[in-house]
Amino acid sequence: AQSVTQPDIHITVSEGASLELRCNYSYGATPYLFWYVQSPGQGLQLLLKYFSGDTLVQGIKGFEAEFKRSQSSFNLRKPSVHWSDAAEYFCAVGEMEYGNKLVFGAGTILRVKS
């Protein structure tokens, strides 16, 4: 079965510092990969996606992610974190053979220190 692992439950970074959130997946075929962000009490907002092609993908709010097939990873990065980035971040892999189904990681809660 497909699975997604986000090894860090909580991460704290200082405002202005760089950020990297880790994501590893288990999937037999070419994966469809996503990063979503959720603020408290809100739904999920799509940050970026990887379907194919260039392994470095750019998203909204200055985020980027790199797909590394050899490491089964899709880590999310941001060069300079803002206080408004504090939220929970979810990595997901799409099981797309029979439709649209996302398998999510457990999430990483980001706290930003001022």
Partner 1 sequence: KAGVTQTPRYLIKTRGQQVTLSCSPISGHRSVSWYQQTPGQGLQFLFEYFSETQRNKGNFPGRFSGRQFSNSRSEMNVSTLELGDSALYLCASADRTRGEQYFGPGTRLTVT
- Interface residues toward partner 1, by CB under 8 A: 32, 34, 36, 41-46, 49, 51, 90, 92, 94, 96, 98-107
Residue with token string 């990873």: 73
Distances (CA, A) of 20 to 14, 30, 64, 95: 13, 23, 10, 25
Q: How far is the CB of 61 from partner 1 (least distance, A)?
A: 16
Q: How far is the CB of 71 from partner 1 (least distance, A)?
A: 23
Q: Which residue type occupies 7?
A: P
Nearer to partner 1, 82 or 101 (CB): 101
Nearer to partner 1, 53 or 70 (CB): 53
CA distance 90 to 105: 6
Helices (H) and strands (E) in the chain — how many of each? Answer: 0, 12
Q: How far is the CB of 100 from partner 1 (least distance, A)?
A: 5
